[in-house]
Structure 1
Amino acid sequence: MKLRFLTTSSNSGSCPTLYETDEGDIVVQGYQLTDPEALAQLRDVLPNETFVVVPRELMTWFEQKG
Structure 2
Amino acid sequence: MTLHKLGKDPESPEGKSPTVYYDDETDNYLLQGWKVLDEERLRQMDIPEHETVIEFPKRMMQFFPEVNGSGGPGSDS
Length-normalised TM-score, structure 2 = 0.73
The aligned counterpart of 1:12 is: 14
Structure 1 position 61, deviation (Å): 2.6
The aligned counterpart of 1:26 is: 29
Structure 1 position 12, deviation (Å): 2.1
Question: How many correspondences in the alignment?
Answer: 65
Length-normalised TM-score, structure 1 = 0.83
> Following the alignment from structure 1 to structure 2, what is the Cα–Cα distance between the partners of residues 40 and 50?
13
SS in 1 for 2:15: coil
Between structure 1 and structure 2, the one with the greater Rg is 2
The aligned counterpart of 1:3 is: 3
SS in 2 for 1:12: helix
> Following the alignment from structure 1 to structure 2, what is the Cα–Cα distance between the partners of residues 41 and 51?
12
The aligned counterpart of 2:74 is: none
Structure 1 position 47, deviation (Å): 1.1
Q: CA RMSD in A?
A: 1.6
- Segments of structure 2 that go 5 or more residues without pairing to the other structure are 71-77
